[in-house]
Amino acid sequence: MITWDNSLNSLFINGKWQGSISGRSESVINPATHEKLTEVAWAGRTEAESAIQSASSAFPSWSKMTARERSKILYRTHELLLERVDRLSTILTMEQGKPLAEARGEIRSAANFFLWYAEEANRLYGEWIPSSIPGKRLLVKPEPIGVIAAITPWNFPSSMIARKLAPALASGCTVILKPAPETPLSAIELVSILAEAGVPDGVVNLVTGDALEIGSALMESRDVRLITFTGSTEVGKLLMKGSADTLKKLSLELGGHAPILVFEDANLERAANQTLASKFRNSGQTCICANRVYVHENVKERFIDLLQNKIRHLKAGNGLEKGVDLGPLINRQSLDKVQSHVEDAIQKGANVLNGGAPLQVDLSGHFYSPTLLTKVTNDMKVMQEETFGPLLPLQTFIEESDVIHRANNTDYGLAAYLFTENLSRATRVSEALEYGIVGVNDVFPAVPEAPFGGIKQSGIGKEGGAQGIHEYVNIKYISTIIDE
């Protein structure tokens, strides 16, 4: 049985748990059952400004700690996350809805980000540059950028926090964390673990509450030097505009519209399994999941048969129950968007092979049946917009050059996937795809040791890998003339 002690004191500022000044709170709802789990504090501008001051005051001492000292705290965070996988994954499923097995995988992923950046903290190197001028010494030195604000989404409420906080803390930055209002409990648990692991007071601050008030305070503050955000492209653009007056650095992981290209020489069993794993993971509420499939005309019938047979065996329900593959959509608006995409496609001539309607289960949540569409045309919403739900549209192709063009013909550029057994084609097509991430026979490319991020309107900057920590540093160049 999961309980929350003093959940109304869910703000963590300067090392202390506290409630909102107004006393206002908001309920946290289980999206599968619509059961109220608990309430959390609902903060605004005043609490956000207090968190900024706390992070600013803590920055000088935290940034001056040795990398090894910060590294030890991150190692301990990694250990505590793994020790508490069962509790953390249960909480994640209860407030977000995804199946428990997926939640466990997310907690392990979060732990691995802290492990990776515990190591990277000690590898943040500078360099001496050989000078062309006698008596001059040229030093390039990375330094932590300062106070950063992390705004995280509800679809991966633990791993998205870890991907931002681990490199920020490793580099010597201090943090204000604003989690999604749908999933504050995972953030509270993670911040509690960081405090237990030894993060000093003020280094990590948590504010739950009003997005507009908190966001405005973060954007307007001269002390906040970077905003890292995962969410929609529309909100990312608002953050760019709002932070322009203070010229903040931005790290944005935004929307996606990932294509899957299945060539005629592909291993179709593997392609079908991975397509379904990508599309229906977290009920399609994933920024890099498959949004459209292009399959070669010569293998379309076999591939569609494989998809249909596998879709029929997917089970929807409460993520805490055994054998559940699909949890609920996060809210009514998400369900309505999926339904609008399906209805638009049907009106324009699409054929529904599986699903196509809300799913009736013995629960109160918003469930949608896993849906496969064929006879899909490019003027349909599902081929132009990110659905963020369990809806898979399929088109066919013949020429390689044509499918590359269609895959690239979008404002998004986060992730793309292709299935082929031909090494030359794999290399040629992966280089031609205009995406920040390309998976060849692999729809799960995200790992802590590799950079993750998009191009075009899918974002700015990278998370993960050696590149991820560099988002949180300034490069200082020191030129010195010495007597010889």
Burial of 314 (0-12, 13-18, 19+ CB in 10 A): middle
Distance CA 76, CA 82 (A): 10
Helices 184-197 & 159-171 angle (0-180, nearest 10) = 30
Type of residue numbered 43 = A
Q: Give the integer Cα–Cα distance in Å for 50 and 317.
A: 41
Helix 268-280 with 300-311: angle, nearest 10 deg:
50
Helix (H) or strand (E) holding 138: strand 136-144
Question: Are 434 and 419 in contact, with CB atoms under 8 Å apart?
Answer: no
Is 203:62 a contact under the CB 8 Å cutoff?
yes
The verdict on whether 253 is a catalytic residue reads yes
Q: How far is CA 207 from the centre of its chain?
A: 19
Bridge partners, 174 (sequence order): 147
What are the E-state strand segments in 199-280?
204-206, 224-230, 249-253, 258-262
For 251-285, letters b (16+ CB in 10 Å) and e give bbbbbbbbbbbbbbebebeebbebbbebbbbbbbb
Q: How far is CA 459 from CA 207, 229, 342, 413, 478, in A?
A: 24, 9, 27, 8, 31
Residue 87 per-residue DSSP state: H
**Cα–Cα distance for residue pair 367/358, rounded to 1 Å:** 6
CB 378 within 8 A of CB 363: no
Residues in the chain: 484
CB atoms near residue 315 (< 10 Å): 12
Could you tell me if 149 and 1 are in contact, meaning their C-beta atoms sit under 8 angstroms apart? no
* Identified catalytic residue from 47, 49, 287, 289: 287
Q: Is 434 a catalytic residue?
A: no
Q: Which residue has the tokens 């322009």?
A: 244
Instruction: Give the active site residue among 95, 253, 386, 471.
Output: 253
- Active site amino acids: 253, 287
